[in-house]
Structure 1
Amino acid sequence: MKESGKYIVFRVNNEEYAIDIDRVIAIERVENISPVPHLPSYVKGITLSRGHLVPVLDIKDIFYHQSLAIEDEVRTLVLQGEGFEYGLLVADTKEIIEISSNQIEKIDLLAHFELSYMAGVANLNARLITVIDTAAFIRTLEGMEEIDSYINELKQEQQAT
């Protein structure tokens, strides 16, 4: 982990989470999500972002098994994954903050595979923010290989036309 960095903070169920700003490509309004059948419930579909097909994941569904209601303040964080870009639906983006590595505490409970994407908890003057490792996050989700294949097929079809 680097000494310090900038993180974008967002809210899910009144809890705060942070993602390294270097992994964020864009913050967009939610528009035109096309559903894709036979994928996990947290995959809301695909959308077009800056000319790329991007799967859209509902982080509230992933964390709490509840769908996020699409309202004006809901945003899509478009993130760079290892094989493809993907979008995370979040209730709102609160701010961009600087967090140093000594402010992030590792929690033993987070070592469990299903929580391995949680890099730790930033303790900022009684404000606790869970820091997410986006590379580990995408690896823990079921169906990501299928989504990657689906996106690649759509790209090939677009290139052929």
Structure 2
Amino acid sequence: MSDETVANRKVIVFQLNNEDYAVSVQQVRSIERIQLITRVPQTSDFIKGVINLRGVVTPVIDLRTRFGMEKIDFTPSSRIIIVFWGDMEVGLIADAANDVMDIPESAIEPAPETAGAASADYIEGVAKTDDRLLILLHLKRVLSADEIKELELTGDSGHDRT
């Protein structure tokens, strides 16, 4: 009997523009249905606004806009994926989010030069599973340092503002 165990990575799979993306479940707090998003004036286009999530003002990013994809209206499948981003929580709008998968580390390959609409900088790797290709997002690289500061000013950023 072998002591070797296959290392797996558990991910949340979501869709954008008919492509499958994934983020580590350790980075995800919750998956929410689309709710009222309040636009914040003078913010970048990809910052859709803020939501009141259980009493916390949470900034929401439209990943389609951030990745230069065509804008579409929300559907009943649209979701807001609440992720941990440093010391704050941020919502990511996805076309759908309905899968949790275990991906063997051996199935993950380095990011190709171009992998869909997302810049290779944002991509941690690509996983081949069964008949699917999953683009693994590197969340910390989706936004620049200046854009992260803008988000912190938009939401509660995990700090008490009394």
Q: TM-score range by the shorter chain?
A: 0.7 to 0.9
Mapping 1:149-160, distance limit 5 Å: 149-152=153-156, 159=162
Aligned pair partner of 2:101 in 97, 100, 104 = 97
Aligned pair partner of 1:128 in 130, 133, 145 = 133
Q: Is the 8 A contact 2:30 2:82 kept in 1?
A: yes
TM-score by length of 2: 0.83
Q: Which amino acid aligns with 1:123?
A: K
TM-score by length of 1: 0.84
Q: Which amino acid aligns with 1:62?
A: R
Quickly say closer, same or farther: Cα 1:36–1:133, change in 2 above 3 A: same
The equivalent residue for 1:31 is 35
The equivalent residue for 1:52 is 56
Aligned pair partner of 1:143 in 105, 126, 147 = 147
User: Quick one: distance in 1 between partners of 2:160 and 2:89?
Assistant: 16
User: Quick one: distance in 2 between partners of 1:82 and 1:68?
Assistant: 29
Q: Is the 8 A contact 1:45 1:56 kept in 2?
A: yes
Where do 4+ consecutive residues of structure 1 move more than 4 Å? Answer: none
RMSD of Structure 2 on Structure 1 (CA)? 2.4
**Deviation at residue 73 of structure 1 after TM alignment:** 1.1
Q: Is the 8 A contact 1:58 1:67 kept in 2?
A: no
Higher helix share: 1
User: Quick one: distance in 2 between partners of 1:70 and 1:124?
Assistant: 28
Report SS of the residue matched to 1:70: coil
How many residues are paired up? 153
Residue by residue over 1:82-122, the C-alpha shift from the partner in whole angstroms, topping out at 9 and shown as x without a partner, is 13110001011131110121111003526xxx532211100
**Deviation at residue 150 of structure 1 after TM alignment:** 3.4
Q: Which runs of 5+ in 1 are unaligned?
A: none
